[in-house]
């Protein structure tokens, strides 16, 4: 499958993603017993995940979005920008479930967590569908991870390559034979 100038091969299919999201929802439901947390979805990539994950959870919750970016096409720039965020969201004494599509270097979260902490939440739980453990070198734990993957670029299920690929139902990996 081709997007722009790159070839991708199917890597995690829709059924496997959906089965794992149900499990992630069960873990969150257990952790959030008797709580009404707030899901905070980091756009753009996590918009598909958050829609599925909130419906895999058996509790009522608030939902809000922030938009951060650090990637330029295939690589992390190391500089994180907040395009819009937390101005009108009350997080005081709230249990936050932070939703990331993928954690790679962890720079995005390292930039963003202090922004959340100054809002005095009761707790912050980080959930990410994908984690690249070979690249991730930060100290803070990613509490709930869908799949650990190698250090290869992926698209689909919300993730893009230079703007395209987000609507794919499966996750596709860059085919480096090309």
Q: Is 49 in the site for ligand 5GP (CB under 6 A)?
A: no
Q: Please give the structure tokens belonging to residue 42.
A: 């980091």
104 belongs to the catalytic site: yes
Q: Which CB sits closer to ligand 5GP, 69 or 123?
A: 69
Asked if 100 interacts with ligand 5GP (CB under 6 A), we say yes
Residues 6 or more apart in contact with residue 120 via CB below 8 angstroms = 91, 92, 93
11 binds ligand 5GP (CB under 6 A): no
Site map (CB under 6 A) of ligand 5GP, residues 13-42, x = contact: ------------------------------
Closest CA to 49 of 37, 41, 57, 58: 41
- Kindly state whether residue 158 participates in binding ligand 5GP, applying the rule CB under 6 A: no
In order of 42, 94, 109, 111, 121, the CA distances from 82 in angstroms are: 10, 21, 11, 9, 20
Q: Applying CB under 6 A, which residues contact ligand 5GP? A: 45, 70-71, 76, 100-108, 153-155, 159-161
């Amino acid at each position: 499958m081709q997007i722009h100038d790159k070839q991708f091969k199917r890597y995690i299919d829709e059924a496997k993603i959906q089965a794992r999201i149900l499990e992630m929802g069960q873990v969150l439901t257990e952790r959030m017993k008797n709580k009404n947390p707030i899901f905070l979805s980091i756009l753009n990539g996590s918009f598909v995940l958050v829609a599925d994950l909130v419906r895999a959870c058996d509790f009522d919750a608030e939902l809000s979005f922030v938009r951060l970016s650090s990637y330029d096409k295939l690589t992390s720039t190391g500089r994180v920008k907040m395009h819009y965020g937390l101005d009108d969201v009350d997080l005081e004494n709230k249990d936050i479930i932070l939703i990331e599509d993928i954690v790679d270097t962890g720079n995005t979260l390292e930039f963003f967590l202090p922004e959340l902490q100054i809002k005095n939440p009761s707790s912050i739980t980080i959930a990410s569908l994908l984690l690249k453990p070979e690249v991730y070198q930060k100290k803070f734990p990613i509490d709930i991870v869908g799949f650990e993957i190698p250090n290869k670029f992926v698209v689909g299920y919300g993730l893009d390559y230079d703007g395209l690929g987000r609507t794919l139902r499966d996750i596709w990996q860059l085919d480096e034979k090309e």
